[in-house]
Amino acid sequence: MDQWLLIGLFTFISSLIGTVSGFGLSTLMIPVLSLFYPFSIVLLFVGIIHLFGDIWKIIFFRKGADWKLILLFGIPGILFSYLGATLSVGSPEVLLKRLLGGFLLLYVFFLFLKQNWKIPANNHTSVMGGSLSGFFAGIFGVGGAVRGAFLAAFNLPKERYIFTSGMIALFIDITRISKYLASGTILSKELFYFLLGGIPLSLLGAFTARKIVNKVPQHYFRLVIALFLGLIALKFLIFS
């Protein structure tokens, strides 16, 4: 029961942070759940939660979107998320966890060293951002940080940024979840029942985020997430 309460609380917090910052739900949940469950099952479980998080973003922040960006990010994202998901299926769990740990640690260093770094805003950036975020989402389940870094280059208004990010992620999540399921990955009865509770908790987190999205400095979230992820990354690298 304590484990269920912990996961439930983390689902709510991850959804809130992920909605406000445009990424973070999977980046927080996957390392934590991987401490308790097989990595392949965690990818499927969090992927489904993340897909509903995409839907909440689209519903709550539907004040406009840049459809050109959505397509430029989304189409390569679909292709590379399928590739990433294909590589993740059947790969040794220890290898994937250590690769994820290395990726998260590099990301933490990046957040601290390049807090104001920006990528040029052009079509090449969109395609590259969609490709990389799709691939990392497929293989590790954590492509949102990459997508956010590239999408931030276009300096979209906050609500349009969240909506656009949600639409791009929706394309990617549908693709990778379909691949996980087609490859035979299934949830245990325990996780299936928790999924039924986790979805409304993710909705509550997104709804709360809608109320505070313009009141919380985003860079504070980045630093808090970085500290937490650094500890998880070291755990994966040393103790996997």
**8-34 residue pLDDT tens:** 887 888 888 777 666 667 877 888 888
**Cα–Cα distance between 112 and 132 in angstroms, integer?**
21
**Percent of the chain beyond pLDDT 90?**
23
Residue 169 has pLDDT above 80, yes or no: yes
Q: What's the confidence (pLDDT) of residue 219? A: 60
pTM of the full structure? 0.81
What confidence category does residue 222 fall into, taking pLDDT thresholds of 50, 70 and 90?
low
Quote the crossing angle between the two packed helices 144-151 and 25-33, to the nearest 10°. Answer: 160
Domain that holds residue 198: 2-239
Confidence of residue 43 (pLDDT cuts 50, 70, 90): very high
pLDDT digits (tens, 9 = 90+) for 50-108: 999 889 888 888 776 778 889 999 999 999 999 999 998 878 878 887 888 888 788 77
Q: How many domains does the chain have?
A: 1
Average pLDDT over residues 190-211: 86
Whether 41 and 187 have beta carbons less than 8 Å apart is answered as yes
Instruction: Write down the mean pLDDT value for the chain.
Output: 82
Q: Which residues contact 67 (CB under 8 A, 6 or more apart)?
A: none
Say if residue 239's pLDDT is above 80. no
Residue 165: what pLDDT?
A: 86
Least confident of 79-93, 143-157, 197-211: 143-157
- List all residues 6 or more positions away from 38 whose beta carbon is below 8 Å from its beta carbon: 93
pLDDT at 160 over 60: yes
For 208-224, what is the mean pLDDT? 67
